[in-house]
Amino acid sequence: MRISVEKSLFSKILTHQQSLINRRSTTVPILSHILIEANYSKQGEPILSVHGTDMEMSLWEKEVIKPFESPGSSVVCAHLLYEIVRKIDDQWVTLEGFEDYVTIRGGAAEFRLPTLPVAEFPLMETQDLPFELSIHPGLLADVIKDTSFCIATEETRYALAGTCFHFRENNQKEIFCNVVATDGHRLALSQLTNIVINEPKIPVGASLLVIGRRTIQSMVKLLESDPGEQVSFRFSSNQISLQGTKFQFFSRLLIDRFPDYMSAIPQNHIFSVKFDPKELMKSLDRVGMVIEERTRSVKLMFHPNGLTLSANSAQGSAKEVVKISYDGEEFTLIFNIRYLSEICQHSRGNIMTMKATKGQNPVVFQDVNRETLYVLMPISN
Amino acid sequence: MRISVEKSLFSKILTHQQSLINRRSTTVPILSHILIEANYSKQGEPILSVHGTDMEMSLWEKEVIKPFESPGSSVVCAHLLYEIVRKIDDQWVTLEGFEDYVTIRGGAAEFRLPTLPVAEFPLMETQDLPFELSIHPGLLADVIKDTSFCIATEETRYALAGTCFHFRENNQKEIFCNVVATDGHRLALSQLTNIVINEPKIPVGASLLVIGRRTIQSMVKLLESDPGEQVSFRFSSNQISLQGTKFQFFSRLLIDRFPDYMSAIPQNHIFSVKFDPKELMKSLDRVGMVIEERTRSVKLMFHPNGLTLSANSAQGSAKEVVKISYDGEEFTLIFNIRYLSEICQHSRGNIMTMKATKGQNPVVFQDVNRETLYVLMPISN
């Protein structure tokens, strides 16, 4: 193999692999490596293909490059190749594969990296996935980003360690998909509507997919860098795939069942308050300065046209009055300040509605004119 | 006490204190606090004074503020006050002192911080320092920054844990000061020349001052933010002080003796090479990517008009040819890559000269047209 690739293009491809390659895979060293292949397609196009896997996820990326003299393939350290290409002081990078090493050249620099046998490069078992929908990559990235900050981080909550895609049918027989993440304290629900799926009936087993945190992170990066209008999202009961303009991505799903999230969303409310989420976030940031890590609770007292935030600790106390649109009776709620702040941070508008009942019941937050909703449990007094 | 202070001014004063206050002083809590005083001067000016100490260093900063109703003083947590003032959403901050707390107000926010008794605030013992020189703050900051990256970081090398200011007299009876830092592997020497000191004779005990690393860091911050043309640098055999436009700073000195640095600077050389330090730094950065943390050595092979850098490890190998100005015989040196890179980084010009001899002898680096020099020991083959 001897190819010349534009630095910016090569760098972009290698960046995508970084999110799924396990850099410190010392027990299985080949998992910290990627497979680089140069070959002519059936149509005679010179193609560079890069493949990486951690055995849970697999990513192939293909690009047409300038014609090369000799095809071939090599398995090299993903991280080091990425760093080298990124720092090369030239527009073009030349990669040449030999028996047990590759050379990388660009500018005045030349690198030699050892390779591992191509035959030993692991292939994740992938299936033909029966269900498919086409979707704008930005739209899919948005519903994932709107929800995924609520994924559980505690190791023990394995069933909540991912984002749930739940395909359902409404009364008009239209398919929609609830995109849900929760860590037991808070919940985020977004929706993909007016979906067209190639198969009219999705069996129960494949209608609820739980996609793990690392897969979610890799998906967002791939979707955000895809220049196309559509990606193909395919799924079965235990795998998903994404096919974009230049890449193909596979991932296993979490096998745990996802909890019944619909029952966590309150249907009624007594109080309804409108506020500016960006302003509330700044106020929370200030009031939160006096809170020590362990307590982390902030008190919200709602009164006509005002919300008084207050926080206390041995370090000191703080309060701040925030302007809101509310004219009902006074009431008080206590929240984990970080959870409340993150909801405000993920809002996309200037007005958010909060709906609450009396007592220790979940509270609903929603941007005006937007389907995504957040549910947050208050803390008891 | 009840005062209103401009946020930007108050924030700047509190920033200076952050570099010397020990934020996590749990055994002596008052050391994580600062003393805030508001008083009218003899001339009737309304003065805010802020004082902090870690018992090794002491910093007073005074500013004329807008007239206030009631003077007074309070001892509050330095870090929290700094964070609060920084985040307040208003141009003005109001501070009000009570029996055992202060309130801080700005925008819609109000904070209450507990205070400690003013009478218990520790005062570092300071002396009347006999020797004084006036110097431009930027000039003093520069000689410190040029050298202090060579201060030893190993805990055991206590005698090298600071920058040495060595006052001497040349043949024309002019006083100059060598500013030196070394960690035993490398050495940096800068100079203050044409110095005028108030006392014509400095006794031996006070002519060599070793200023500890933390003091050095605080000094740079104070000097760089001083808007004046001159600061007063005073010293005795065991203390220094800096007096700027608005601040007064004291620090104890390290009592250890500094090694005889002059003998470490080679006087002769065989090879002399000119190179662009910024270009060499970029090349070292690239070649260094293949080096594992433990070895960290880079090989430099000098040949007419070229320097070949090379590095090797189990991860791979790298080489790069750098253009240099040299026409002598070929020779090779091996350096710690980080040390060599840091010397290039601290250069201020486009041309640096390297002077070396054959064998394992120290190598001298110097910017063209500049007094500061660096000495670096090569690594044996």
Chain B hits for A109, CB-CB cut-off 8 Å, are 283, 286-287, 318-320
Spell out the CATH class of A265-376: alpha beta
Q: Which alpha helices (DSSP H) does B26-99 contain, by range?
A: 78-87
Q: Burial code of B112-138, b = ≥16 C-beta within 10 A, e = fewer?
A: bbebbeeeebeebeeeebebebebebe
- Per-residue pLDDT tens over the stretch B62-72: 999 999 989 99
Residue among B250, B232, B254, B252 nearest B241 (CA) = B250
To the nearest whole percent, how much of chain B has pLDDT over 90? 81
pLDDT above 90 for A160 = no
Region B48-54 average pLDDT: 96
Any CB–CB contact under 8 A between B315 and chain A? yes
| pLDDT score at B381 | 66
- Per-residue pLDDT tens over the stretch A275-289: 999 999 999 999 999
| pLDDT score at A256 | 77
Any CB–CB contact under 8 A between A105 and chain B? no
Chain A hits for B88, CB-CB cut-off 8 Å, are 286
| pLDDT score at A330 | 94
pLDDT above 70 for A331 = yes
* A72 φψ region: left (φ > 0), alpha (ψ -120 to 50), beta (else): left
Q: Do A80 and B315 touch (CB under 8 A)?
A: yes
pLDDT above 90 for B14 = yes
| pLDDT score at B285 | 96
Q: Do B112 and A285 touch (CB under 8 A)?
A: no
- Per-residue pLDDT tens over the stretch B287-323: 999 998 767 899 999 999 899 999 999 999 999 999 9
Is the Cα dihedral B197, B201, B206, B208 positive or negative?
Answer: positive
Chain A hits for B112, CB-CB cut-off 8 Å, are 316-318
Give the one of A89, A111, A319 whose C-beta lies nearest to B290's C-beta: A111
Region A352-377 average pLDDT: 92
Q: Which of B76, B280, B289 to mutate to test the interface with A (most CBs of A within 10 A)?
A: B289
Chain A hits for B107, CB-CB cut-off 8 Å, are 320
| pLDDT score at A381 | 66
Q: To 10 degrees, the CA torsion angle through B236, B239, B243, B248? A: -150
Dist. CA A60–CA A54, nearest whole Å: 12
| pLDDT score at B194 | 87
Domain residue spans in chain B? 2-120, 131-262, 265-376
Chain B nearest-CA residue for A311: B111
To the nearest whole percent, how much of chain A has pLDDT over 70? 99
- Per-residue pLDDT tens over the stretch A57-106: 999 999 999 999 899 999 999 999 999 999 999 999 999 999 999 999 99
Residue among B305, B299, B340 nearest B322 (CA) = B305
Q: Do A289 and B84 touch (CB under 8 A)?
A: yes
Give the fold, CATH level 3, of A2-120: DNA Polymerase III; Chain A, domain 2 (3.10.150)
- Return the biggest CA–CA distance within chain B: 78
| pLDDT score at B173 | 87
Counting one residue from A and one from B, how many pairs have CB atoms under 8 Å apart? 90
More confident residue, A181 or B172: A181
Contact, A94 vs A104, CB < 8 A?
yes
Which ipTM did the prediction report? 0.87
Dist. CA A249–CA A126, nearest whole Å: 10
Region B57-85 average pLDDT: 96
- Element at B214 (helix H, strand E): helix B213-225
- Per-residue pLDDT tens over the stretch B113-165: 999 999 999 998 888 899 999 999 999 999 999 999 999 987 677 778 899 99
Q: Which alpha helices (DSSP H) does A61-178 contain, by range?
A: 78-87, 137-148
Distance of residue B101 Cα from the nearest chain A Cα, in angstroms: 9
Region A179-190 average pLDDT: 95
Question: DSSP string covering B235-253, please?
Answer: E-SSEEEEE-SSEEEEEEP
CB half-sphere exposure, A159, CA atoms < 13 A: 8
- Per-residue pLDDT tens over the stretch A112-155: 999 999 999 999 888 889 999 999 999 999 999 999 999 998 76
| pLDDT score at A86 | 96
Using 50, 70 and 90 to split pLDDT, how confident is the model at A183?
Answer: very high
What's the alpha-carbon Rg for chain B, to the nearest Å?
Answer: 25
Spell out the CATH class of A131-262: alpha beta
| pLDDT score at B69 | 86
